[in-house]
Chains A and B, each alone.
Chain A
Amino acid sequence: MNSEIAKSTSRSFPYRIVIEQRLKEPSRTYSLLISVLAIVVALFIGGFVIAQAGGDPIRSYRHIAKASFGNIGVFSDTLVKATPLILVGLACAVAFRSRLWNIGAEGQFFVGAFGASAIVLTPILPPDTSPWIFIPVMMVAGILMGAFWGLIPGFLKAKYNVNEIISTLMMNYIAVAWNNFFIYAVWSESGFQMSPMFTKNAWLPRLTDYSKVVPAFRGLTTHLGLLFGILAAVLIWFILYRSRWGYEIRLIGDNPQAARYAGLNITRNTILVMMLSGGLAGLAGMSEITGVVHRLQGAISPGYGFTGIIVAWLSKLNPFAVILVSILFGALILAGREIQPSGIPKMIQGVILVCLIASDFFLRYQIRIVRRE
């Protein structure tokens, strides 16, 4: 009975909704507006859940804002959280541009951290080496280890068509186990599950280190890694949009068949892109270990490598957008912990992601309400 009534009313209702594919590219303002609206909607949904959980949404949001952007001190902490995200986000963005689904940034991050640590702990360089040598050597070690970790799945993909999603994911576990072996068995400090503290010469300089020159820097932990991230974003942008290699990456990513037709070497590119991606994630690991943790231990990443995937998607694979999105996520990670160790902050991250991805619908389709014939 009910269904019949519904049918007859729907028949008499004079309007219907038509969803059509857009034939024209929407303007930049429009797409920006949609993204902002999506975040607003996400915050509303998040606020609703906070209210349900017995919290005050407005106070919570205000607290998040204050705890991440409230003053120079907390903003500096936000940037510290954003630093590895920028590098890992770039790593994912480059791979995704070439349609390589590298979800192994986490593992590449770990082996990057291992590579940098090995320089100090083996030790390859004596502890009194000048930072001018220490830091570049550790950078190279981190990048090379990450690139190697990307090379393996890249080679398997290119030569034997092994699904890189599976292989990169599996490589994550190997990386963690590999690091653990060294933490527990080789470099363990008197039985603890961590290595000894690195010598000061191997630390990335932080703003607070210059507080004698600029007193305002006192207590600010933002370290040189942020500069690596920004330079890497510029470099990746340049590679993608101004270099021959970047052109190949974009062409293969957009239409591999056309790339083959244009005579590109897809095998070589697959391997190289995976190495670039791994190298960036490795650099993230190096920067985190020498800029923040200062020793090799098990807990060096709260899943930066996986958050990087989200960062890359939200920034639509644009290197500069990666910086902004990383700062946003850095803020959420930092301030989230102020409200709750886990739960609500993670939920807000998730809702923002879902809303932003869903908002893409409005960029690709248009919705019209038309009169029934």
Chain B
Amino acid sequence: MDGRQEFESHSSEPPVVVEMRGIIKRFPGVLANDHVDFKLYQGEIHALLGENGAGKSTLMNILAGLYRPDAGEIYVKGKLVHFSSPRDAIKAGIGMIHQHFMLVPSQTVTENILLGLDQPRFILRLSEYHQKIAEFAERFGLKIDPKAKIWQLSVGEQQRVEILKMLYRGADILIMDEPTAVLAPQEIEALFITLRKMVSEGKSIIFISHKLHEVMEIADRVSVLSKGKVTASGVPAKGITRQELARLMVGREVLFRLDKKEQAPGDVVLQVEDLHAENDKGLPALRGVSLTVRAGEIVGLAGVAGNGQRELAQVITGLRKCTKGKILLNGEDITNQPVSYSIQRGLGHIPEDRTHVGTSPNLSITDNVIMKKYRQPPIARGMVIDMNQASQFAQQLVATYDIMVPTIRTPARLLSGGNLQKVILAREISGNPRLLVAVQPTRGLDVGAIEGIQRLLLTQREAGAAILLISEELEELISLSDRIYVIYEGKIMGEVTDGNIEVIGLMMTGTPMEQIRQGVQ
């Protein structure tokens, strides 16, 4: 209380509740936060914007006491703090609501909120607390039944419980890590009403997102992070246009041109018609996607994360069923066929998650590279695997693709990200795929590895493969692709052939191509 008065006394501006100065955080091989400064005022909603891997979550995890910074200082309400656990952060009034909720499904709302608190000590008179929590929730306009069990609640309601949990612990600074990512549109609306209510009660909110329209709707100010550095700090959100925001987020760095040969594309290899599919939550993720990819061309799919790219890749590669629509590979219907069916017909897939999907961590390099070849000769000899052939094959891939491994018996989990990705790429390319679906092939890799991977993709293009490149790195998409589709909320907004970054940015934020054309005219 004393501290707050002190602040209010020396200016008419709202007081600064959080100030982070010169935060540096390194992870093996990555500089996640590079001298980041950040300021949060009381009673504001401050959006933290940035692409995946820009360092937003790292910065906020530091503020919430989950990580310790390598350098830099954090002041909360004017006091220098050193958090060694989330408990310390909560004591200082900072609560973080994670993307994945930390709730006990079989217990009630009240029980979840009381979990881990010192009060009540021994005897839990639930009815008393039900009442208390209901009243508390009322104050912030959070409609919730305290007696309901968590598993009975919708995702939006569960999120409300998380918010309530933090408020009940006395948090007045709330960090929300992509809170809308899991919500349906109406739930987002309800969340925004709650957030405004909380701010009017004097709380301060940090809102992590990469959805521009939401940021424009809810935030008072915006900070943008890009590759661990601050590119915009506390810009007022009022009056800012989508273009400006897109530019802040995407950046306008010089694109390095890769040595891409001119070539005419061949026949249509992949044809997707009016594809519909649901995401893991059962919400519609794809709403009528149609696209084509020809032999010898790289077709990019741009979009802010979570707009259906992941689901599209999964449906095409057979890992997810579609609810409607058609997928043709070389004219053959592969819709909802088993994965092995399309693999046999020349589909290569570089999955988004190389450690959990693309490789098997405790199996050797050899075992990892034969994943799609162990059924056919020469590696298969009847029911038996010819280990000599398998080792030779692995050795040959390691040499050809310059993969740095101690031996081919090394388990995959001991490889660096770049080498692991090369293993996957080598495996997929060695099958001479007709179609290659590459999802985020260079994410999280260092510059050298990125270039290597991109060159390999270009070589495949020259060899006549059809490549669908799904990436959130716009620079990469523009420098590699012959054409780029833009996806937004499960629909294709349009197609760009000249790599116009402004048009892509507009479509990424939900403006369809027709509207942009009309605007130009």
Binding site for B on A (CB under 8 A): 23-25, 242-245, 247, 250-251, 254-255, 257-265
- Is B338 a contact of A263 with CB atoms below 8 Å? yes
- Is A258 a contact of B362 with CB atoms below 8 Å? no
- A251 to B356 CA separation, bound complex (whole angstroms): 12
Nearest-Cβ distance from residue A66 to partner chain B, whole angstroms: 41
Contact with A along B304-340 (1 / 0, CB 8 A): 0000000000000111000000000000000000111
Residue of B317, B341, B361, B410 near A255 (CB, 8 A) is: B361
Query: Which residues of B332-386 have CB atoms within 8 Å of chain A's CB atoms?
Result: 338-341, 343, 349, 351, 353, 356-363, 367, 370-372, 374-375, 380, 383-385
Residues of chain B within 8 A of A25, CB atoms compared: 410-411, 414
- A32 to B383 CA separation, bound complex (whole angstroms): 33
Residues of chain A within 8 A of B360, CB atoms compared: 250-251, 254-255, 258-259
- A251 to B317 CA separation, bound complex (whole angstroms): 19
- A251-B371, A255-B356, A258-B359 are known contacts; what are 16 more A-B pairs with Cβ within 8 Å? A25-B410, A242-B384, A242-B385, A244-B375, A244-B383, A244-B385, A247-B374, A251-B363, A255-B360, A258-B358, A258-B360, A259-B360, A260-B319, A262-B343, A263-B338, A263-B340
Contact with A along B376-415 (1 / 0, CB 8 A): 0000100111010000000000000000000000110010
- A194 to B363 CA separation, bound complex (whole angstroms): 49
- Is A254 a contact of B363 with CB atoms below 8 Å? yes
Residues of chain A within 8 A of B363, CB atoms compared: 250-251, 254-255
- A242 to B374 CA separation, bound complex (whole angstroms): 11
Nearest-Cβ distance from residue A108 to partner chain B, whole angstroms: 25
- Is A260 a contact of B339 with CB atoms below 8 Å? yes
Residue of A243, A245, A254, A263 near B361 (CB, 8 A) is: A254
Nearest-Cβ distance from residue B414 to partner chain A, whole angstroms: 7
- A149 to B155 CA separation, bound complex (whole angstroms): 41
* Nearest neighbor of A250 in chain B, beta-carbon distance: B363
Contact with A along B236-252 (1 / 0, CB 8 A): 00000000000000000
- Is A244 a contact of B339 with CB atoms below 8 Å? no
A242-B385, A244-B384, A244-B385 as given contacts; A258 in contact with B371, CB under 8 Å: yes
List 4 tightest A-B contacts by C-beta distance, closest first. A263-B340, A263-B339, A255-B360, A262-B371
Residues of chain A within 8 A of B372, CB atoms compared: 262-263
* Nearest neighbor of B410 in chain A, beta-carbon distance: A25
Nearest-Cβ distance from residue A363 to partner chain B, whole angstroms: 13
Give me 6 A-to-B residue pairs in the complex whose CB atoms sit less than 8 angstroms apart, sorted by A's number. A257-B356, A258-B360, A262-B339, A263-B338, A263-B340, A263-B343
- A255 to B412 CA separation, bound complex (whole angstroms): 12
- Is A243 a contact of B383 with CB atoms below 8 Å? yes
* Nearest neighbor of A24 in chain B, beta-carbon distance: B414
- A244 to B376 CA separation, bound complex (whole angstroms): 10
Nearest-Cβ distance from residue A185 to partner chain B, whole angstroms: 44
- Is A261 a contact of B380 with CB atoms below 8 Å? no
Residue of B340, B351, B383 near A245 (CB, 8 A) is: B383
A23-B414, A247-B367 as given contacts; A258 in contact with B384, CB under 8 Å: no
- A265 to B341 CA separation, bound complex (whole angstroms): 11
* Nearest neighbor of A245 in chain B, beta-carbon distance: B383
Tally B residues with Cβ within 8 Å of A. 33
A255-B356, A260-B339, A261-B319 as given contacts; A244 in contact with B374, CB under 8 Å: yes
Nearest-Cβ distance from residue A251 to partner chain B, whole angstroms: 6
Residue of B351, B383, B384, B411 near A261 (CB, 8 A) is: B351
- A23 to B413 CA separation, bound complex (whole angstroms): 9
- Is B338 a contact of A244 with CB atoms below 8 Å? no
Residues of chain A within 8 A of B356, CB atoms compared: 255, 257-258
- Is B357 a contact of A258 with CB atoms below 8 Å? yes
- A244 to B353 CA separation, bound complex (whole angstroms): 25
Residues of chain A within 8 A of B361, CB atoms compared: 254-255
- Is B414 a contact of A261 with CB atoms below 8 Å? no
Residues of chain B within 8 A of A261, CB atoms compared: 317, 319, 339, 349, 351, 357-358
Residues of chain A within 8 A of B358, CB atoms compared: 258, 261
Nearest-Cβ distance from residue A153 to partner chain B, whole angstroms: 24
- A257 to B355 CA separation, bound complex (whole angstroms): 10
Residues of chain B within 8 A of A263, CB atoms compared: 318, 338-341, 343, 372
- A242 to B391 CA separation, bound complex (whole angstroms): 12
- A25 to B362 CA separation, bound complex (whole angstroms): 11
- A257 to B314 CA separation, bound complex (whole angstroms): 12
* Nearest neighbor of A261 in chain B, beta-carbon distance: B357
Nearest-Cβ distance from residue B218 to partner chain A, whole angstroms: 35
Residues of chain B within 8 A of A265, CB atoms compared: 338, 340
Nearest-Cβ distance from residue A95 to partner chain B, whole angstroms: 17
Residues of chain B within 8 A of A251, CB atoms compared: 360, 363, 367, 371
Nearest-Cβ distance from residue A18 to partner chain B, whole angstroms: 15
- A259 to B339 CA separation, bound complex (whole angstroms): 10
Nearest-Cβ distance from residue B424 to partner chain A, whole angstroms: 10
Residue of B343, B357, B380 near A244 (CB, 8 A) is: B380
- A214 to B375 CA separation, bound complex (whole angstroms): 49
- A294 to B358 CA separation, bound complex (whole angstroms): 52
* Nearest neighbor of B340 in chain A, beta-carbon distance: A263
Residues of chain A within 8 A of B411, CB atoms compared: 25
- A259 to B353 CA separation, bound complex (whole angstroms): 14
* Nearest neighbor of B371 in chain A, beta-carbon distance: A262
Residues of chain B within 8 A of A262, CB atoms compared: 339, 343, 371-372
* Nearest neighbor of A23 in chain B, beta-carbon distance: B414
Residues of chain B within 8 A of A258, CB atoms compared: 356-360, 371
- Is A247 a contact of B357 with CB atoms below 8 Å? no
* Nearest neighbor of B359 in chain A, beta-carbon distance: A258
Nearest-Cβ distance from residue A245 to partner chain B, whole angstroms: 7
Nearest-Cβ distance from residue B363 to partner chain A, whole angstroms: 5
* Nearest neighbor of B373 in chain A, beta-carbon distance: A262
- Is A242 a contact of B387 with CB atoms below 8 Å? yes
- Is A247 a contact of B385 with CB atoms below 8 Å? yes
Residue of B340, B349, B357 near A257 (CB, 8 A) is: B357
Residues of chain A within 8 A of B343, CB atoms compared: 262-263
- A243 to B387 CA separation, bound complex (whole angstroms): 9
- A250 to B411 CA separation, bound complex (whole angstroms): 13
Nearest-Cβ distance from residue A359 to partner chain B, whole angstroms: 19
Residues of chain B within 8 A of A257, CB atoms compared: 353, 356-357
- A25 to B387 CA separation, bound complex (whole angstroms): 22
Nearest-Cβ distance from residue B413 to partner chain A, whole angstroms: 9
- A254 to B338 CA separation, bound complex (whole angstroms): 21
- A59 to B380 CA separation, bound complex (whole angstroms): 56
Nearest-Cβ distance from residue A273 to partner chain B, whole angstroms: 15
Residues of chain B within 8 A of A250, CB atoms compared: 360, 363, 367
Pick the most buried of B317, B371, B411: most chain A CB atoms within 10 A of its CB: B371
- A282 to B384 CA separation, bound complex (whole angstroms): 26
Residues of chain A within 8 A of B380, CB atoms compared: 244
Pick the most buried of A25, A263, A264: most chain B CB atoms within 10 A of its CB: A263
- A259 to B319 CA separation, bound complex (whole angstroms): 11
Nearest-Cβ distance from residue B408 to partner chain A, whole angstroms: 14
- A262 to B353 CA separation, bound complex (whole angstroms): 14
* Nearest neighbor of B427 in chain A, beta-carbon distance: A262
- Is B362 a contact of A254 with CB atoms below 8 Å? yes
Residues of chain A within 8 A of B353, CB atoms compared: 257
Residues of chain A within 8 A of B385, CB atoms compared: 242-244, 247
Residues of chain A within 8 A of B410, CB atoms compared: 25
- A24 to B414 CA separation, bound complex (whole angstroms): 7
- A254 to B360 CA separation, bound complex (whole angstroms): 6
Residues of chain B within 8 A of A245, CB atoms compared: 383
Nearest-Cβ distance from residue B97 to partner chain A, whole angstroms: 28
Nearest-Cβ distance from residue A287 to partner chain B, whole angstroms: 26
- A255 to B339 CA separation, bound complex (whole angstroms): 16
Residues of chain B within 8 A of A244, CB atoms compared: 374-375, 380, 383-385
Query: Which residues of B394-453 have CB atoms within 8 Å of chain A's CB atoms?
Result: 410-411, 414
Pick the most buried of A25, A244, A255, A258: most chain B CB atoms within 10 A of its CB: A258
